[in-house]
Amino acid sequence: MRARHVAVIGTGYVGLTTGACLASLGHTVVCADTDRAKIQRLREGRVGILEPGLADLVADGTAAGRLTWATGTGAVFAPAARPVELVFLCVPTPMGAGGLADLGILEAVVDEIRLLVPAGCVVVTKSTVPVGTAERLTQLLDRPDVAVVSNPEFLREGTAVQDFLHPDRIVVGSDRREAAEQVAGLYARLGAPTVLTDSASAELVKYAANCFLAMKLSYVNAVAELCDRVGADIVDVTEGMGHDRRIGQEFLSPGPGWGGSCLPKDTSALLQLADSADFEFRLVRAAIDTNIRQHKRMVDKIRVAVTGRQAGSLSKVRLALLGLTFKAGTDDLRDSPALAVAALLRQAGAEVIAFDPAVPPAGEQAARLPFAVAGDAYQAADGADAVVVLTEWPEFRHLDWARLAGTLRTRAVVDTRNLLDPAVLVRAGLTWTGLGRPVRSALPEEEAPEAVSSPAPVGAHP
């Protein structure tokens, strides 16, 4: 594999992961961002993103001299600098008006580098961009000596480094084959299956994949609801489904809804794209609707668990919410289903107080929330009627549930992630309500030890 000289524009979680990982593969990388303070922090080795392994890669790359930093794009292409062979554009493409991706930042960067990129350079889009963007950027660049390539990323927040270094596949698309091969060559050491295609197809792979994942999750959430209605257990149902290799075990856990900075944005964007192509993509529409309904369904479950009623106000009900981030292992609150559920609970009159290991009460994120954030789960639960688990932080499993039971007024725990061990909760005197699984009520004390210690049947889950 030939070591290349690469520039990465944008040091968000995609840009920084791309830069640090490419440096770890032996390439020389300069990462640029307009945020001077952020670049200064990175120079000092302060990564500022909760992403396992990233800080180490940044430190290693910097120490080896393969990873350097620049404020703005000018310094990247300064005449004295070594000519850049590939430029990765990793700037945000937020959801704009009507659900379409807003390409304002991307186009501004292209305009800025238009006359700076050296002849023969390859410009690579890494951000999730609508189909046709590579073609549009080629026109904007107006540089026949510079190729544009689409190389979508499939990184998950919280496992981005792992996903980058052990990818299921690499997708590279361009109408200039040689440029696409150069980009694919950067990853040669990873030995991943590589799909070389045209730019429109590469751009569509990203949306098609994320929307498929969203549909899978909405499907599993709907099956969990059906389990609730017919008395089946979603854990066994999904295990039985997942052994089919065509389905797979992953992405089959029901939850309070899918969220984050990608799936909601990309499902809306694909609907827009389909609309503009005069195609009504009903499957994706249904996945979004099911997701919105899921938030409401969580509130209904909580209402039943706490008040015993199917409908009505939650005024005078105080709830301890465990977890605010859109999934565990990240501090990201963007489009978090936990926040959507919290908002609906408050609308119904409930008072909520939350705890999340990645959202400290004195931090900026907590300050922006319309409800109180506690320093730990016990503080949140003090004087609450019930506990609601909204994010699957593993540490919640090991809370002192007996201590929590002592402070809860209704002794109800609603576990929207099926995270906790119901037997442990029952032993602590609590009633556990999950998703698509039978409610487990606290047993009379004399029966509890026997019930808990009896061996679980083969194949049974906690």
Sign of the C-alpha dihedral computed for residues 196, 199, 205 and 206 taken in this order: positive
Q: What is the closest distance, in whole angstroms, from the C-beta atom of residue 122 to ligand UGA in the complex?
A: 22
* Rounded-to-integer distance, Cα 351 and Cα 188, Å: 54
Residues 6 or more apart whose Cβ sits within 8 Å of residue 385 = 306, 317, 318, 319, 408, 409, 410, 412
**Smallest distance from ligand UGA to CB 262, Å:** 3
Compute the least distance from the CB of residue 91 to ligand UGA, in Å: 13
Q: What are phi and psi of 412, to 5 degrees?
A: -100, 135
Q: Which is nearer to ligand UGA, 255 or 357 (CB)?
A: 255
Q: What residue ranges bind ligand UGA (CB under 6 A)?
A: 128, 153-157, 210, 213, 217, 251-253, 255, 258-260, 262-263, 326-327, 337
Distances (CA, A) of 143 to 64, 126, 361: 34, 20, 50
Strand order through the sheet with 412-415: 372-373, 351-355, 318-322, 386-389, 412-415, 431-433
Nearer to ligand UGA, 141 or 158 (CB): 158
Residue with smaller CB distance to ligand UGA, 262 or 426: 262
As measured in angstroms, the least distance from the Cβ of 152 to ligand UGA is: 8
265 or 427: CB nearest ligand UGA: 265
**Structure-token pair, residue 370:** 């319309």
Pick from 47, 52, 1: nearest CA to 22: 1
88 neighbors 9 (Cβ within 8 angstroms)? yes
For the annotated catalytic residues, the residue numbers are: 262
Question: Residue 154 CB, nearest distance to ligand UGA (Å)?
Answer: 4
Contacts of 166 (CB under 8 A, 6+ apart): 190, 192
**Please, which residue, 340 or 425, has the CB nearer to ligand UGA?**
340
